[in-house]
Amino acid sequence: MKHIRNFCIIAHIDHGKSTLADRLLDFTGSVTDREKQEQLLDSMDLERERGITIKSHAIQMNYMHKGEEYILNLIDTPGHVDFSYEVSRSIAACEGALLVVDAAQSIQAQTISNLYLALENDLEIIPVLNKVDLPSANPEEVTDDIVDLLGCDASEIIPASAKTGLGIEDILTAVINRIPAPVGKVDAPLRALIFDSVYNPFRGVETYFRVINGSIKKGQHIKFVATGNDYYADEVGTLRLKQFPQKEIKTGDVGYLITGIKDARDVKVGDTITDAKNPTTEAIPGFEDVKPMVFAGIYPVDTEDYEELRSSMEKLQLNDASLVFAPESSAALGFGFRCGFLGMLHLEIIQERLEREFDMTVITTVPNVSYHAFTHKNPNEIVLVNNPSDLPEPSKLDRVEEPFIKATIITKADFVGPVMSLCIEKRGEITAQTYLTTERVELNFDMPLAEIVFDFYDRLKTVSKGYASFDYAPIGLRESKLVKVDVLLNASNVDALSALLHVDNAYDIGKRMCEKLKELIPRQQFDIPIQAAIGAKIIARETVKALRKDVTAKCYGGDISRKRKLLEKQKKGKKRMRQVGNVEIPQEAFMAVLKLND
């Protein structure tokens, strides 16, 4: 066990985590020349297309150091704030972390939040200064920033370049010397932590685990503590690029387990695996429950696919435990699911993965957040409002509380003005402004979560020319003056387009929604009024004009009453059509409501 090291790589997005993992694999000879490719561990199509890590990836390497062979279990983690739950799970399976900082971009918001996650779990931190070979790198200044942040010695920071391979040997030496070996009781009953799992259509659920006490053998009779189900370990092994079956996985090591489980609901990330005959008395404390930030409805395009969508979501949840969903129904879209996501990028990725991995074409409704409403009748009883249609009648409503977040934005000093005006426009209140260096400023705001879930991140990048980094943490609920804005199409309410908005923004957003829908809804044989309303009060209106046949074309001259008679007849027909006509809403209309600033 003293020759095992478990560590992960944490950093802000684009600071070179996956490239560093590639170099470590090259240096330890874990991959052959034939298998080599850039960002080797990013195995999903989506990850390769977008150039980001979405899933954490575990891999085992063997390394000879001073004549002794060490087993290094590495987990490469995502850098985007929307996948921070992946990072927290990886950290739970490790004793140490490489904190990678880009020498050109210095410390960013996500670097700090990932560092705090690691420190909370008492991990040994090894700071790595990456991309020192870049012409724009500023190693001396960034080294000082890291020393200020960690309180470490400047000599402990390893200068490296994941592209050229500089400093890789120093990193491996530091991993062996500085990161403690795992501790555990070899002869105690089996206790293993499930930190990830994936669905294989041929072999069922593959579970990734870390052994805390005891060992797990092939063919052993095991039990999952949370579900209470027991199975036989058909296959256990270690995770290299491919899976390597082994006879036994011992204390402190990381491996995979196949038991032939076909039902995705039987495996829970954070659960404890133990021996069925000699079970452990205490389960491992799992991960903290995920707190979804953004909610949206996901509906199958064809209602008959509802059950298929459910099983696809369950299989996806195995691989992405931060996805939360519950069944719901909508008047416009039929049966579907109310899903909780960690942010807008997470929502986009889930939608893409459902389409690619499970061939499910889905409709996503307008994302929103979860509110707490209180009525006059029971001022202390919380009414949970996940959907605008759940909001009680305005006459019965006492108050509404909405979730607030503490936003941390790190930007260049030149962009403080535009960033501040964007945050104030989004109802943010500045709480602190700290100059980290003469060039870089950290701004702290208290903001409503509802204001940042749509386009805030994109607009922040635009006003700061890409230099601002953003991170957030929930700080509870506060009272707000919110109203429900309904969209009426041809006088009938479209519940999927309703939104809960702050009183000050309601008129402006209602008007812009109507204008946007006017562009997107195709013309019919009759006029379609598009209205935005608060309760019974109409606050904005646009009309999609009818396609009209020129019925007076055959009247050459003659009395005007002949034309008038034909036009009146046509008017009556249009009126009748409008009473019975249905308006189809294109899928783009649901998503376009989010992009009102475009």
Could you list the residues known to form a binding site for GTP, using ranges: 14-19, 130-133
The Cα 152–Cα 337 span in angstroms is 48
Residue ranges of the annotated binding site are 14-19, 130-133
Give the DSSP H/E element, type plus range, for residue 287: none
Contact residues for 255 (Cβ-Cβ < 8 A; gap 6+): 208, 209, 211, 216, 236, 237, 238, 239, 246, 249
User: Edge to edge, what strands does the sheet with 4-10 contain?
Assistant: 57-65, 68-76, 4-10, 96-102, 124-130, 158-159
Output the DSSP codes for 17-75.
HHHHHHHHHHHTT-S-TTT--TTTT--SHHHHHHT---S-EEEEEEEEETTEEEEEEEE
CB distance 229 to 238 below 8 Å: no
Backbone angles phi, psi at 481, to 5 degrees: -95, 95
Structure tokens at 171: 């990193």
CB distance 465 to 415 below 8 Å: yes
Structure tokens at 64: 């000879």
Structure tokens at 454: 């749509």
Output the DSSP codes for 156-222.
GSEE-BTTTTBTHHHHHHHHHHHSPPP---TTSPPEEEEEEEEEETTTEEEEEEEEEES-EETT-EE
Q: Report the first-to-last Cα separation within the chain, whole angstroms.
A: 57
CB distance 181 to 2 below 8 Å: yes
The β-bridge partners of 62 are 71
3-state secondary structure of 330: strand
The Cα 22–Cα 16 span in angstroms is 10
The β-bridge partners of 534 are 485, 537
3-class SS string, 65-92: ECCEEEEEEEEECCCCHHHHHHHHHHHH
For the chain, what is the radius of gyration of the CA atoms?
A: 29
Structure tokens at 173: 């030496």
The Cα 584–Cα 378 span in angstroms is 40
